[in-house]
Amino acid sequence: MAKKEKKAEDQTEGKGEENAEGGKSKKKIIIIVAIVVILSIGLSIGATLFFLNGNDSGESDSEDAAPVEEVKLPAVYLDIKPPFVVTYDVSGKQRYMQVFVSAQSRDQASLDAMELHMPLIRNKLIMLFSAQDFQALQTPEGKESLRASSLALINEMLEKESSGSSIEQVLFTNFVMQ
């Protein structure tokens, strides 16, 4: 009987060690799986919050840092017709200048105001063109100076007559001198 009890004890101890080792390994696996699940849930929540809040905070930061630039409207042009023809007396010889002029703006209302006051603008431009030195107009600097003077004159007339309308550029689309 003693042998049987001893065998039973040995078997019980062996099973206890196996149960203890098996229980520990099962507990380790359960703990590892639980940690992995908790980490994956935490990462998914963190990523979701990052992407949802990342867009909102990025837009507000960029708005706070620099104001949004205005979108430029497309350029609109107005050809001033008929072309300007001006005569000059240079050393006793009759000389001519013919200029085709266009105005550029990004606001159609400014060009409409310009069309409304076209007789006044044409008169002022003819006076400006005829007051120029023929020799100076033959240089690129002279033409650019005339273009800038024309822009200033038109904007002055528009401001005076149309309360704040203005054009962006005066363009010489054809410039002939003889």
pLDDT in tens, 47-73: 888 888 865 544 554 455 566 677 788
**Tokens for 93?**
């010889």
Of 60-74, 130-144, 148-162, give the lowest mean pLDDT range: 60-74
Percentage of the chain lying above the pLDDT 70 cut: 79
What angle is formed at CA 167 by the lines to CA 166 and CA 171, rounded to 5 degrees? 155
Bigger pLDDT: 5 vs 86: 86
Reading across the β-sheet that carries 76-90, which strands appear in turn?
76-90, 93-105, 169-177
Q: What is the mean pLDDT of the chain?
A: 84
pTM attached to this predicted model: 0.60
Residue 6 has what pLDDT? 52
Residue 86 pLDDT > 60: yes
Say if residue 3's pLDDT is above 90: no
Q: Reply yes or no on whether the pLDDT at 104 is more than 90.
A: yes
What pLDDT does 57 receive? Answer: 47
CATH number 1.10.150.20 is the correct assignment for the domain at 76-177 = no
From residue 117, how far is each of 149, 156, 160 by CA, in Å?
18, 12, 11
At 84 the pLDDT is 96
Give the model's pLDDT for residue 21: 59
Residue 42, CA atoms < 13 Å, CB-side half-sphere: 6
